[in-house]
Amino acid sequence: MTTPRLEVDLAKVGHNARTLVTRLAARGISVTGVTKVALGAPALARCLVEAGVGGLGDSRMANLERIRRARITMPVTLLRSPSPSEVGRVVRGADASCNSELSVVRMLSAAAVGAGRVHGVLAMVELGDLREGMLPGDVPDFVGEVLGLPGCRLVGLGTNLACRSGVVPDEDKMEQLSAIVDETEERFGIHVDVVSGGNSANLDWAASAVDIGRVNDLRVGEAILLGRETLRRQPIDGLHTDAVTVIGEVIESRVKPSAPWGRFAQSAFGEVEIAVDRGPVAQSIVALGRQDVDPDGLTAPAGMTIEAASSDHLVVTSPSTLTVGDEVTFQLDYSALLRAMTSPFVVTRYQQG
């Protein structure tokens, strides 16, 4: 079979999604299933819908359009603030988008009116991670203007933490978000429907918080696919951590000295190799490199060690020699998965389990 390939076990992904949907529902939180790491693959989107997510989210219009073309009828939200050059595309292809710039919302409004549509605005609030979002003090002006714009509807307020700076979405941050929601409702005499508290990094909080306040939605991608929370990348109880794997093929297998020999300078990626002589080792090359995955995010099968990686070659050692043509299955972290999904050299197989 073709290598390198990603294998996505949809039975395991579905189990992960259903488990999280059920656990969060018990706390009054619905899940927006995030498809961006799989480029909006309809197979994943369908699996998430069957698992009971309340909506789908992706950061790119191309991915949301792929989902729509597959006739998946679920509300879809663009998770990244629209580029001004794509507002027409956004109002046609997404029900809602995350927003923090009034200039963009004004353009969305005009485009929505032109297209005869109503576009949902999820107002994103900055709570300290310093990626997207308006500062809390800017929320009243923002909401006030959105409420008056034709073709736009305020769907809710949201925040995003733990992405740029690793700021933890803890009880304190979530209480701040809830307080902003309460103040907004009071000031404008409205009801804020959606309060989207964050991403996979919020799962610890959602499981342990005494009071989840006003938060009623989380946008979850990584935890569903990889089965881990994202603050410490610990496995989540009851979830599969091997739903997605990448498979490469052995193209050379020899017993070689463990220490290189000759005069030393930089390697292909600027590293200076520190030679440790462990005697002869069973060294194999897997046809998998930095153009396919992020090798630093791979976990080799038990007993096997990843020694080095260049553009196209992954050097591994193992207790006994592998055979040329053997397939080797690796686990991936988010970075390795993202690279593999976006590499033109890696095929993705979605298996129904």
Ligand X SMILES: *Cc1c(COP(=O)(O)O)cnc(C)c1O
Per CB under 6 A, residues contacting ligand X are 34, 36, 59, 79, 98, 160, 199-200, 219-223, 230
Reported as type and span, the H/E element at residue 186 is helix 171-188
The angle formed by the CA atoms of residues 269, 345 and 343, to the nearest 5 degrees, is 70
Based on CB atoms, which residue is closest to ligand X, 314 or 338?
Answer: 338
Cα 257 from chain centroid (whole Å):
40
Cα 70 from chain centroid (whole Å):
21
State which residue has the least CB distance to ligand X: 221
Q: Which of 340, 231, 236, 233 is nearest to 16 (CA)?
A: 236
Distance CA 149, CA 144 (A): 9
Based on CB atoms, which residue is closest to ligand X, 236 or 286?
Answer: 236
Based on CB atoms, which residue is closest to ligand X, 6 or 288?
Answer: 6
- Sign of the CA dihedral with 264 first, then 269, 273, and 279 last: negative
Q: Which of 156, 142, 165, 231 is nearest to 190 (CA)?
A: 156
State in angstroms the smallest separation of the CB of 57 from ligand X.
7
CB of 87 closer than 8 Å to CB of 120: no
Distance CA 124, CA 23 (A): 25
State in angstroms the smallest separation of the CB of 148 from ligand X.
26
State in angstroms the smallest separation of the CB of 344 from ligand X.
22
Spell out the residues 6+ positions from residue 26 whose beta carbon is closer than 8 angstroms to its own.
none
Distance CA 65, CA 62 (A): 5
CB neighbourhood size of 322 (10 A) = 20
State in angstroms the smallest separation of the CB of 327 from ligand X.
28
State in angstroms the smallest separation of the CB of 131 from ligand X.
8
Based on CB atoms, which residue is closest to ligand X, 32 or 109?
Answer: 32
Based on CB atoms, which residue is closest to ligand X, 252 or 294?
Answer: 294
State in angstroms the smallest separation of the CB of 335 from ligand X.
12
Based on CB atoms, which residue is closest to ligand X, 281 or 338?
Answer: 338
173: annotated active-site residue: no
Spell out the residues 6+ positions from residue 102 whose beta carbon is closer than 8 angstroms to its own.
141, 142, 145
- Residues acting as catalytic residues: 36
